[in-house]
Amino acid sequence: MLMKASSQSLTEQLAGRFSERIRNRLLAPGARLPSVRQCAEQHGVSPTTVVAAYDQLLAQGLVEARKNRGFFVREAGVARGEEPPQSEAPTGWSAGHWMVARRGPAPVNATSLIRGMFHKISNKPQPGMGVFPPDWLESTFMPAAVRKVTSTRALHDFSLQYGEPLGDSGLRRALSHKLAALDVQAAPDQIITSVGATHALDIVSRTLLRPGDPVMVEEPGWAVEFARLNALGMHLLPVPRRADGPDLEVMARYCAVHKPKLYVSVSVFHNPTSYCLSPGSAHRLLQLANQHDFHIVEDDTYSHIAPPHATRLTALDGLQRTIYVGGFAKILAPNWRIGFLAAPARLVEDLLDTKLLGTLTTPALLEKALAICIEQGQLRRHCERIRTRLDAARSRSVKLALNAGCRFAAEPAGLFGWVDTGVDTDALAQRMLDEGYLLAPGALFHAERTPSTLMRINFATTQDAAFWKKYAELVKKV
């Protein structure tokens, strides 16, 4: 709340609140600020105070005023006014999709939720977060495994020298067995460990791509991947993600015009929709990849909460044209940052060179501890407990969301729900932020940030009736 008795004026307090959120990326570039009238009503101040606060933000270069449209967080470095050449744009493509295919989105949009992880909003459960609550991940087996590998003798054996370039051999053997249970056949020497799954994705793109290369990405999809590829200078080609898989007609048109080098996919419990790839769509996708000579990166981040029989491209393809990426941050410990990739044998040396140039080796201590957790079955039992708890949480969260007037745009499954609110979720997110809740508005999951009525919710953190009560109250005011 703004305080009249504060040493700062109401104008300074309001401008400072917006300034802090913009600098911490809790308000992403391109986000629209509330109208003067809405902001005045929301914060209990006069329109004059709001105008003066917005003027301060303008003077600081944090926002820009657009005629007859309002105030927007500045989006640095994005060319405006470009139009797709009519001779180049394929029939039926929107100008927005063509623009993204040519120059990509602004990379800073992606960090809004990431910044939210490090700038604690409140002690309330956060509906927009992408991880399980800390108390869900607490265990006794992880500390025990770490203690086992940090004895004086063990530390001396592996800490006083560089580790294995591919990663700890014990972990790679354990991962090979774990992948076999998913019908993904990868020998230990086809597996490379990384500093989290995002690092593994980065190794692949830096190895297979060069600036300017076209890359197909799913839309909606994870904004961090959009931003990461864009920062490397790639041309993003957004492919609509449907319940059974990607829109293959759109992909075929991209292939005919752009000859893309790579397609990045989350086949199982896709983020944010939780869709799972169907076998028929997977077969047609692999046929398209073979016909047009592009690789597929399958990010299986949510494999730990997914059924083992779920369709995976790498299982069908046998790691010929596909590369498998996995990690343990979601299910085990976000700060352990252990990821890996499994690749065709012919690509392993090139991928390893890229890893070595970026990190030399990866820390063996936690890799050895993770191997123990896998080999002794502790990780498997932990995942089973999480799945059981998540199923119950999802059931409660869905009921609360429906009672609050939401509609699910995708069948509820996995960790995330893709919810239609009926209002601009960028505007709703700003209102909820004042109440201590960080939302994940739908615009974050599109390659070109445009207003959306959708938002992603985390089923594990949206069982709180107080959140939905506040949501139902504020959604009427947007």
> Tens of pLDDT along 193-217?
999 999 999 999 999 999 999 999 9
The answer to whether 384 and 305 are in contact (CB under 8 A) is no
Supply the mean pLDDT for the chain.
88
The average pLDDT across 226-245 equals 94
The answer to whether 454 and 273 are in contact (CB under 8 A) is no
> Sorting pLDDT into bands at 50, 70 and 90, what band is 100?
very low
What pLDDT does residue 246 have?
98
CATH number for the domain formed by residue range(s) 138-378:
3.40.640.10
Say which residue the tokens 């990379």 belong to: 107
> Sorting pLDDT into bands at 50, 70 and 90, what band is 161?
confident
What pLDDT does residue 83 have?
40
Question: What is the three-state SS of 389-452?
Answer: HHHHHHHHHHHHHHHCCCEECCCCCCCEEEEECCCCHHHHHHHHHHCCCCCEEHHHHCCCCCCC
The average pLDDT across 224-238 equals 92
CA triplet 29, 35, 39: central angle to 5 degrees?
A: 100
Fold of 124-136+381-475: Aspartate Aminotransferase, domain 1 (3.90.1150)
Distance separating alpha carbons of residues 347 and 116, to the nearest angstrom: 36
What pLDDT does residue 306 have?
94
> Sorting pLDDT into bands at 50, 70 and 90, what band is 430?
confident
Distance separating alpha carbons of residues 346 and 20, to the nearest angstrom: 49
The dihedral of CA 337, 343, 346, 347: what is its sign?
Answer: negative
Distance separating alpha carbons of residues 277 and 313, to the nearest angstrom: 9
Distance separating alpha carbons of residues 276 and 44, to the nearest angstrom: 46
- How much of the chain exceeds pLDDT 70, in percent? 88
What pLDDT does residue 76 have?
59
Question: What beta strand segments (E) does 134-266 contain?
Answer: 191-194, 214-219, 235-240, 262-265
User: Helices (DSSP H) in 34-125: which residue ranges?
Assistant: 36-43, 47-59, 95-103, 111-118
Instruction: Give the residue with greater pLDDT, 157 vs 423.
Output: 423
DSSP 3-state assignment of 265? strand
391 Cβ contact list (under 8 Å, min separation 6): none
CA triplet 62, 64, 67: central angle to 5 degrees?
A: 165
CATH number for the domain formed by residue range(s) 10-73:
1.10.10.10
DSSP 3-state assignment of 458? strand
> Sorting pLDDT into bands at 50, 70 and 90, what band is 22?
confident
Q: What is the DSSP letter of 118?
A: H
The answer to whether 310 and 289 are in contact (CB under 8 A) is no
Which element (helix H / strand E) includes 379? Answer: helix 378-403
Distance separating alpha carbons of residues 221 and 442, to the nearest angstrom: 10
Check whether 94 has a pLDDT greater than 50: no
What pLDDT does residue 177 have?
97
Short-list 401, 413, 400, 390, CA closest to 454: 401
Instruction: Give the residue with greater pLDDT, 287 vs 162.
Output: 287
Domains in the chain: boundaries: 10-73, 124-136+381-475, 138-378
The answer to whether 415 and 302 are in contact (CB under 8 A) is yes
